[in-house]
Amino acid sequence: MRERGGRRLLLTGAGLAALLLAAALAGPALLPHAPDTQLDPVAARHLPPGSTRLLVTLADGRTLAAERVAPLPGGGLRLTRLGREQHLAASELADAPVRPTRFLLGTDRFGRDLAARLLAGARVSLAVGLAAVAIALTLGIAAGSVAALGGRWLDGVVMRIADAFLAFPRLFLALAAAAFLGPGLPTAIAVLAATGWMGVARLVRAELLSLEGREFAFAARASGLPAGRIFLRHLLPNALTPVFVDAALRLGDTILIEASLSFLGLGIQPPQASWGNLIADGRDALASAWWVAAFPGAALVVAVLAFNLLGEGLRDALDPRRRRPC
């Protein structure tokens, strides 16, 4: 029973995560306009989800969002925009100017397509999360190995530093660092990596210490293998399984913290989109345009949930103690 439940979690999580990654990778190809194009700051402002407008492209590249368009003799157009009629001569228009567009998720206050921004945000949020977790894993594995194998003194120093980092609430430390180092994408990655390695280091250290006492490690030492080789070929690979399972859960947490940072204005900076700063945009317009905050948040929840399901499922699948029916 539990095993099947675990597999269901794993499959749901993996499926959702794959879907998100695919959407993020394909992002720009999926939608007709770029995430930071202001389609029509006046007439396309805060359009509710599912609205349809006729986008009229002008000769200078700008677009106007019209409710209705009718041809005029001589190649010009008569458009109804915000309920008012407006005439455009053929010379003011681009080639093949009219394009009906449906805004599936609505638009924001600058008349930008929220769906496009959401996908752009997915790229940023996932990329920041993956990069930060990768760096945190590297740091944590290095620190944990040094602590486990470097002797008592080094162990003490490394673990006390880890404790000090842990004594900071993570969001707090990330906020302070981002505020003082200047916010932005590189800072966000660095700060999340710098506040994410301690758990990994503890895990790696504990695994290595327990593996060191096992018979195969003793056998390897007895057969005269050099210490470095024992570490790299025998101890480390065995220590890494729980670390990678843990990494999926960490990825969810990291994406969540990045979103909090960006929401508070100290993470990814606009106009670059991230789910967190999209929600912050939506906060200011909550009463009049609920979709601007709602959809990016929902995307964030789906992403975090996907990685949590993945991590849970992996842990169920790989940890034999949890597989026993209870």
Applying CB under 8 A, the residues found at the interface with other proteins are 1-2, 5, 9, 160-161, 163-164, 166-169, 171-172, 175-177, 179-182, 252, 256, 259-260, 263-266, 279, 282-283, 286-287, 290, 293-294, 297, 300-301, 304-305, 308-309, 312, 325-326
Determine the angle formed by the axes of helices 114-149 and 275-284, rounding to 10 degrees.
Answer: 130
Q: Do the beta carbons of residue 144 and residue 204 sit within 8 Å? A: yes
Query: How far, in Å, CA of 202 to CA of 204, rounded?
Result: 6
Min dist CB 37 to other proteins, Å, is 26
* Alpha-carbon dihedral 120, 292, 42, 66, rounded to 10 degrees: 80
Estimate the share of the chain in helix, then strand, then coil, as percent rounded to the nearest 5. 65, 10, 25
| Residue of 270, 249, 260 lying closest to 313 (CA atoms) | 249
Q: Give the nearest distance from C-beta 13 to other proteins in angstroms.
A: 9
The answer to whether 322 touches 316, Cβ cutoff 8 Å, is: yes
> What gap in Å lies between CA 112 and CA 99, rounded to an integer?
16
- Shortest distance, CB of residue 173 to other proteins, whole angstroms? 9
**Minimal distance, residue 46 CB to other proteins, in Å:** 15
Least separation in angstroms between CB 161 and other proteins: 8
Pull the structure tokens for residue 326. Answer: 């209870």
Q: Given the complex with other proteins, which of 87 and 283 has the nearer CB atom?
A: 283
